[in-house]
């Protein structure tokens, strides 16, 4: 009885269902697959496969403007992820300890920038930086690029830490104080380690988003600084080169790897949480 009930609910997908899924996946990934394939093509042709080569990857690493963009991207990603994670952690702990009346609107304010169009964020930040720059005498450049990345990263860090804070026992800080901690010590010795998985997830997400960003960077980096996505954009405007394919492939694989890491981490944490709940019920 039970088996039939299950099999009617979770029906195995038929031919139609399977081909539909395959169709969707094909449309999603075919362009990327073509991109990757032609990054190894031995001629400049974008339609005919002429043989395997790593030349385009080699020339990437010899191209100083590309390598500069790569270093800029890496430095901006590392620094902005770290700063945003620190700021976001304190913000999340602050939000969490607030009363609901204040916490709810503040969380909404935190969430709005994430849904805001990148172009709006980019233009508004650039306007802000330009007008502030008039007064304080600075120009768009590496500094403003970094500030912009920190800004758009913080909400994501807050969002990845909040669930961890909610899972904490309400009395955890009290328990630490009870056993001899001052409030500050309780924060470092108990709260931070307890939410560490969320902090690290936030760090990786921030790093990924920073590597990935084009629009906001484009408006806030000024004329002299370029990130990798900006470099690719600039290259497509000058000449179509297989180097772009190679560069895009590297970028795609990096982001893919980071996303896989985030997903594995999250599902492991989930699993641990459930196992814990099960054993507590016993």
Residues at the interface with another protein (CB under 8 A): 100, 163, 166, 169-172, 174-182, 185, 190, 193-194, 196, 272-273, 275-276, 279-282
Residue 168 Cβ vs another protein, minimum distance, rounded to whole Å? 9
Residue 91 Cβ vs another protein, minimum distance, rounded to whole Å? 17
Nearer to another protein (CB atom), residue 22 or residue 196:
196
Report which DSSP code applies to 60. Answer: H
Nearer to another protein (CB atom), residue 41 or residue 89:
89
DSSP string, 189-227: IIIHHHHHHHHHHHHHHHHHHHHH--HHHHHHSTTT---
Contact 201, 261 (CB under 8 A): no
Nearer to another protein (CB atom), residue 47 or residue 279:
279
Close Cβ partners of 158 (under 8 Å, ≥ 6 residues apart): 88, 91, 92, 95, 110, 202
Residue owning tokens 């709940």: 277
**3-state class (DSSP) for residue 41:** strand
Residue 169 Cβ vs another protein, minimum distance, rounded to whole Å? 4
Nearer to another protein (CB atom), residue 259 or residue 273:
273
Burial class (CB in 10 A: 0-12, 13-18, 19+), 122: buried
Residue 199 Cβ vs another protein, minimum distance, rounded to whole Å? 12
Which pair of tokens denotes residue 222? 């000024």
Which pair of tokens denotes residue 223? 């004329």
Residue 190 Cβ vs another protein, minimum distance, rounded to whole Å? 6
Nearer to another protein (CB atom), residue 147 or residue 173:
173
Residue 155 Cβ vs another protein, minimum distance, rounded to whole Å? 16
Contact 173, 211 (CB under 8 A): no
- Nearest Cα neighbor of 270 from 199, 190, 197 is 197
Nearer to another protein (CB atom), residue 8 or residue 170:
170
């Amino acid at each position: 009885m039970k088996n039939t009930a299950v099999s009617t609910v979770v029906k195995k997908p038929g031919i139609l269902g399977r081909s539909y899924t395959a169709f969707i996946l094909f449309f999603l990934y075919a362009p990327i697959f073509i991109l990757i394939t032609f990054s190894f093509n031995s001629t400049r042709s974008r339609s005919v496969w002429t043989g395997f080569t790593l030349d385009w990857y080699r020339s990437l690493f010899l191209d100083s403007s590309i390598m500069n963009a790569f270093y800029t991207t890496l430095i901006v990603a590392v620094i902005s992820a770290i700063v945003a994670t620190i700021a976001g952690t304190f913000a999340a702990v602050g939000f969490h300890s607030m009363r609901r009346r204040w916490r709810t609107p503040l969380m909404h304010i935190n969430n709005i920038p994430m849904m805001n169009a990148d172009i709006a964020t980019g233009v508004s930040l650039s306007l802000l930086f330009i007008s502030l720059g008039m007064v304080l005498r600075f120009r768009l450049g590496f500094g403003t690029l970094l500030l912009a990345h920190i800004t758009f990263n913080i909400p994501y860090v807050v969002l990845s830490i909040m669930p961890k804070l909610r899972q904490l026992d309400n009395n955890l800080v009290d328990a630490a104080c009870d056993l001899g901690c001052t409030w500050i010590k309780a924060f470092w010795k108990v709260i931070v380690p307890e939410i560490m998985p969320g902090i690290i997830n936030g760090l990786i997400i921030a790093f990924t988003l920073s590597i990935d960003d084009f629009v906001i960077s484009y408006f806030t980096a000024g004329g002299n600084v370029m990130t990798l996505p900006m470099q690719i954009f600039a290259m497509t405007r000058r000449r179509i080169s297989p180097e772009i394919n190679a560069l895009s492939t590297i970028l795609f694989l990096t982001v893919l790897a980071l996303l896989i890491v985030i997903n594995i981490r999250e599902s492991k944490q989930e699993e641990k949480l459930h196992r814990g709940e099960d054993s507590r019920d016993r």
